[in-house]
Structure formats: structure tokens, C-alpha cells
Amino acid sequence: MGLMESIRNTRWLSALFGLLIAAAPSSGEDAGIFDEYRAMFGDDNPAIFVIDEGEEYWLEPQGPKNTSLEDCDLGLGPGVVEGAYARLPRYFADVDKVMDVEARLIFCMGELQGRPSAEIEGYPYSMRGDLGTEIEALVAWLADQSSGMPIAPGQEHVKEREFFTLGEQLFYYRAGPHDFSCATCHGQQDKRIRLQSLPDLTSHEGAAASYSAWPAYRISEGIVRTMGWRMRDCFRQQRFPLLGVGSDVTVALQTYLAVTAAGAPMMAPGLKR
């Protein structure tokens, strides 16, 4: 039986990972353990199941209007999904706003399906123990539709450039009880917190390696997490208030990362700790 077949409904790999970590010496060998663990998967990524689910959500009529998302315009025209993720965040004239994939999906769910945005905004990401949300599945599928394509967020419109500048300012903005900014943890090379190595997201290499791999299947949680979730969770680590899905702040931060990563090929969904 293949490894993948046994993964679908089990969490045993997470448990195994926990054991590997527990057994590992607390030195620099930890990172090697994760590499070995990742190698066990080879080219397999359990996210493939979530990708399929995302496509099903896209095609499924839902909401008061009983419509699918097939006419959703992600920036390349209604219904065009190939390559759309790699061009986000970008400016959308119909709302006069810069949006990331999540903001745009929530907009389409409202416009096309008649679903109240509060319904999705209140519960965009899985809680501990959940098996994944619609947003997570849709984002996994859409990112896969950009696999191999260069990261190329919009920077032509003045608002797109404003969002890059805002994102950069936010990245260096120190506040909260610990006076942390994103740069405190992500502004230097070879930094680590416990097991996790912290990428230098201010360099093209660091941003590219990170941005291209999200959304990602998180082994420790057994679910796909999106870049929007990553922003929210780092905001939390920074002791900042809850970061709204699709909010200007999350879109600006992602614009900063995407522009810094621009040119590198998308390789999502990735595989993370």
C-alpha cells in the first residue's frame, strides 16, 4: 500500500513527527529530522486531496443564488483560473481595490452566490482539529493552477504600488507588548525559534522560497494552510490584534512578500512542518 493511501484519514504521521522531534537532540540536528521526514513524502503531498476538493467547491452551485464560482474573475477574466494565483495580489477595477485570493473569493461568493461575506469572514481558516475549510480548499486548488508560473503580482496600478509601500512599512512596524515587527523575526539570515528556521523575508531568496510554497500542507496539523492564515498567525505571534481575512493589512503584507519574491516560480501547495 502506498504511503499516500494511508494518509487520507489518519493523523498518524503527525504523531510520528512528534515522536521524531521528541527523540531528536535539541541541537542543530532538528532541521535535519524535518528534511528526512519531508523526504519520506517524496513527490507526494497530501494536499492533492484538498486540491480536488477545491475544484469541487468551485463547480458546486451554492448560496441563495444557487450558482457556482465558475464566472468568478480572479484578474485574468471570468472563469480563468490558470495562472491567476501567481498574479495576485492585484488591483480590481470593479471594486477599486487591491485584493488577495481570499478577498477576491469572498467577493465572488457574495456577488455570484449571494452569500453574506460575514459568514465566510467569521470562519475562513480551520480551527485545531478541523479537516479544512472551503477557502483553504479553493486556495489550494487555485495555487496548484499556477504551479511553475512566475510570481508576478500587479504593480502597474498606483494602488498596487501603494499597497507594496504599505506592506513594507507594516513589515518594519514595531509595536505590541514586545515591540516586535515582522522584521524582528524575519529580517536576518540563519535565525531560528526552537525548531523552526526563520526565513529572511526581506531578501528575494528568502521571500521567494517562502511565498512560492504557500498555501502549504502543514504536517503538524494535517491540513492545508494559506498565506492569509500565515499572516494571521504571525500577527498573533507578534501579539497584534486578530488580522481580518482579506483585509487591507493582510493584502498589503502579502503584496510586499509577493513583489519581493517576484520572478520565482510558484511551487504550491508546499509541505511545511
User: Cα separation of 121 and 246, whole Å?
Assistant: 8
Q: Quick one: which of 21, 198, 262, 267 contacts ligand HEC (CB under 6 A)?
A: 198
Q: How many positions of this chain bind ligand HEC (CB under 6 A)?
A: 22
User: Cα separation of 160 and 165, whole Å?
Assistant: 9
Q: How far are the Cα atoms of 11, 177, 197 from residue 238, in angstroms, in the given order? A: 29, 9, 17
Considering the rule CB under 6 A, would residue 212 count as an interface residue with ligand HEC? no
User: Cα separation of 20 and 195, whole Å?
Assistant: 12
83, 260, 62: which is closest to 155 by C-alpha? 260
Q: Quick one: which of 50, 84, 139, 185 contacts ligand HEC (CB under 6 A)?
A: 185
- Burial class of 2 by CB neighbour count within 10 A (0 to 12, 13 to 18, 19+): exposed
Shortest Å distance, C-beta 27 to ligand HEC = 18
Shortest Å distance, C-beta 119 to ligand HEC = 26
- Burial class of 217 by CB neighbour count within 10 A (0 to 12, 13 to 18, 19+): buried
Q: Quick one: which of 74, 138, 231, 264 contacts ligand HEC (CB under 6 A)?
A: 231
Q: Based on CB atoms, which residue is closest to ligand HEC, 115 or 230?
A: 230
Q: Quick one: which of 62, 155, 196, 203 contacts ligand HEC (CB under 6 A)?
A: 196
Catalytic residue at 234?
yes
Query: What is the amino acid identity at position 270?
Result: G
Q: Quick one: which of 234, 244, 248, 262 contacts ligand HEC (CB under 6 A)?
A: 234
Considering the rule CB under 6 A, would residue 230 count as an interface residue with ligand HEC? yes
Q: Based on CB atoms, which residue is closest to ligand HEC, 41 or 180?
A: 180
Please count the other Cβ atoms lying within 10 Å of the Cβ belonging to residue 128. 6
CA dihedral 100, 200, 196, 26 (to 10 degrees): 180
| Window of 47-55, 83-91, 101-109, 192-200 that interacts with ligand HEC by CB under 6 A | 192-200
Active centre residues (catalytic)? 234
**Which residues in this chain contact ligand HEC in the complex, by CB under 6 A?**
171, 180, 182, 184-186, 193, 196, 198-199, 201, 210, 213, 230-231, 234-235, 237-238, 253, 272-273
